[in-house]
Amino acid sequence: MKIKNNSEENGKIILETGTYEIIRHRLDKFGKELRYKINLLNDERRTVFGSADAALIATERIITENACIPADMKPIGNKFIFGYNIDYGIKKISPEDVFSVYSYSDLTFHTETLELISDPTFISDFNDLYKYYKETRFIKFSQIGKSQKAIKVFKWIVDGNNLKYIDNRSEHEFKFPKQHEFKWKKTRDMHIEGKHSHVSIENILFVETIEGDLTIKSENNTNSGEGVYAEDVDIGDQTLDDADFHYSVLGDIVILKIRPYQEKNYRYIVYSAKTKTAVRIDAIENACVLLPENQGIIFSNGYYLQTGDYKFFDSRFENLIFERKIISPNGEDFIYTFYENNTGVYVLLKYNLIEQQIETPVICNGFSIFENGEMCNFRDDGETKNNSDGIYCQQAWNYFYENKRTSTWSQCNFC
C-alpha cells in the first residue's frame, strides 16, 4: 500500500502559488512602467502636434422676445444667425419672429439687427412662404406642410462677413451625406442544410431564423441549434427562404440586417469575429458611418470597434441621421454630428483616434464653429414653459477645430 505524502503535495502547492505571485507582481510592475512611458510619449506627441481637448469656456443665456423652440444656428464671420419656431396661431409671421442675429466677441453674445438678412427679395419670398403655407416651420430649412419631402430652400452666398441672397429655387441642392458608408450584400446560395439549417455569412458566422428564434453561430455546425446569440422571432413556423438576410463585412466586424418572415422591421446586429460575440444595434438603420483608419463604426448613440469593444449612450431621440464629420487640424480628433429632422436636435460625438473612444455626447439645438476654433452651441434649458419670453442656454467651447473656407465665396442654404 502506497501512502500519499501530504507534506510534499502541500509544499508543491505553496511553491506554485509563490511562483504565480512573483510572476504577477513582475507583470504588474512592467505594466505600470509601460503605461508611464506611453503617457510620456503621448504628452510629447500632443505638445508637438497640438490637442483638441474640449474645454467649456463660457455659458450664457439668450432671451428671445417670444417663447420659442430653438432650431439651428449659422456662423457668418464673428456673427451667427439664430433660427427658431414660435406658436404663432393667427399671427402674421415676419423674419423677426423666426430669426435673430448675434455677434460674438470676448466670450459674450451681443444682439444685432437683422440687417444681415434684410435683402428685399428674401423678405418677400419669406412672407409669401408663411402666408400661403400655414404648416411652415424652420429646422435647417422651411418645411411646407407635414411632409418632410416638401421643403423650401433659400439660397445665399457667404462673402466674408456678409450674405448675398440668390433665390428660393434650390431645393435640389439640399442633400444629406450618404447615411451608410458601406454596401449591403444579399445572401444568395449560402444556405447550408442539416438538422439545424443556417445561412453562411462568408464562413465567418452562420445565422438562421427557424425554430422560433433568430440564432447566430460562430461555427458551421448544423447538428446543434445553439449559438453565441439568439432572440425570439414573431412567427416560429418559417424556413430560411422566408427571411430576408443582408450583411456587410468590415474587417473583423460583420453587420447583419435581418427581417424574419412577415415582420415589418429589420433587425440590425453587429458581430465581432475577434470576440465571437454579437449585439443588436437598431440605430444602424438610420445611419452608420466608418471611423477613421478602419477602427470601427459609429452611429447616433454609440460606436463599435474592430477590437470588439463597444459603447452605447442613453438617447431619447429617434430617427437621427448623419449630418457631417468635422476633423481637427492635427487629424487626431473627429466630431460626428447627427441630426433629428422632426425636432432639430443635434447629437455631437467627439472621437479620438489615439484613445479610440468618445467623450460624453453634446446634445443641442444648433451649433457653430468659428474661425478661431471655438464652438458655440445652444439648447432649450426648459425654462420657456414658465416664461412668456424664450430663455436658452448658450455655451462656448474651446475645441481647437478650425473652420477654414476653401474660397472667399461659399454657399449657405437656410430660410
Query: How far is it, in rounded angstroms, from Cα 14 to Cα 37?
Result: 35
Query: How far is it, in rounded angstroms, from Cα 107 to Cα 59?
Result: 9
Query: How far is it, in rounded angstroms, from Cα 165 to Cα 154?
Result: 8
For the chain, domain boundaries? 1-49, 65-173, 180-285
Q: What is the DSSP string of 380-397?
A: E-SGGGG-SSEEEEEEEE
What H or E segment, with its residue span, contains residue 11?
helix 6-49
* Pairing of β 267-272 and β 253-259: antiparallel
Could you tell me the pLDDT band of residue 146, with boundaries at 50, 70 and 90? very low
> Judging by beta carbons within 10 Å of its beta carbon (0-12, 13-18, 19+), is residue 409 exposed, middle or buried?
exposed
Using alpha carbons, list the distances in angstroms from residue 182 to 158, 208, 290, 303, 322: 33, 23, 8, 15, 14
State the SS3 of 343-362: CCEEEEEEEECCCCEECCCE
Could you tell me the pLDDT band of residue 247, with boundaries at 50, 70 and 90? very high
User: What does the pLDDT read at residue 313?
Assistant: 92
Query: How far is it, in rounded angstroms, from Cα 399 to Cα 226?
Result: 48
User: What does the pLDDT read at residue 229?
Assistant: 93
Q: Which of 103, 337, 96 is nearest to 83 (CA)?
A: 96
Answer whether residue 167 shows pLDDT above 90: no
Answer whether residue 168 shows pLDDT above 60: yes
Query: How far is it, in rounded angstroms, from Cα 381 to Cα 257?
Result: 38
Q: Which of 194, 228, 187, 190 is nearest to 210 (CA)?
A: 194
User: What does the pLDDT read at residue 248?
Assistant: 96
Contacts within 8 Å (CB) and 24+ apart, 45-49:
45/354, 49/330, 49/332
Answer whether residue 384 shows pLDDT above 90: no
Q: Taking the alpha carbons of 283, 284, 289, 291 in that order, is the dihedral positive or negative?
A: positive
Query: How far is it, in rounded angstroms, from Cα 155 to Cα 153?
Result: 6
Q: Report the alpha-carbon angle 342-344-346, nearest 5.
A: 125
Helices (H) and strands (E) in the chain, counts: 2, 33
pTM above 0.85, yes or no: no
Over residues 191-207, the pLDDT tens digits come to: 787 777 888 999 899 99
Over residues 248-274, the pLDDT tens digits come to: 999 999 999 999 999 999 999 999 999
Cell numbers for 32:
505600470
Asked whether 94 and 80 are in contact (CB, 8 A), the reply is no
Average confidence (pLDDT) over 127-142: 74
Query: How far is it, in rounded angstroms, from Cα 185 to Cα 249?
Result: 9
Query: How far is it, in rounded angstroms, from Cα 310 to Cα 265?
Result: 24
Q: How many residues does the chain have?
A: 415
